[in-house]
Amino acid sequence: MSVNEHADPNRRDFLYIATGAIGAVGAAAFLWPFIDQMNPDAATLALSEIEVDVSQVAEGQSITAKWRGKPVAVRQRTAKEIEEAKATGLSDLKDPVARNANLAGDAPATDVNRAAPGKEAWLVMVQVCTHLGCIPLGESGVYGGWFCPCHGSAYDTAGRIRSGPAPENMAIPPFEFTSDTTVRIG
């Protein structure tokens, strides 16, 4: 009779399982710092929502706020700018989708779907060119909206791409007016 014939198979199975469990716990403890470092830091989380005072923004003026490291244009458009944007048909746009985080993903890029609900004079938009991430100049270009001098993308007064290499309209972030003079972005 050999020694292997008297070995207890239940004890051997327990040792295999216990060793595997300790190895898995050890691997998880070793990997956790690497996984945890991928979470955003406190400074980023603090900027996930900002409030902007727009009481000093007159008709035809804009201000730029920084949200999540990106410039956000908050503009009070003139009646002429609103009428020009409303008169533009969807067939005239390169991108027919609103790109508004407050609406369904397939909402059409009408002026109403790009402006603030109930406050059509206000436009809150991430001011980053959708071509290569440049910062377009405001109140510029053929359409009187934004113009990216780097590659020639021209946006209208509602931030919709009209000409140039940019493929999409500038994004509308999640926002809401908490009062007549304060907009919360994020």
Quote the tokens at residue 41.
Answer: 């830091």
Q: Which residues of 129-151 are buried (b: 16+ CB within 10 A; e: fewer)?
A: bbbeebbbebeebebbbbbbeee
Pairing mode of beta strands 153-155, 161-163: antiparallel
The residues, any chain, with a CB within 8 Å of residue 182's CB and separated by 6 or more, are 51, 52, 53, 54
Active site residue 131: no
151, 167, 178, 181: the active-site residue:
151
Active site residues: 151
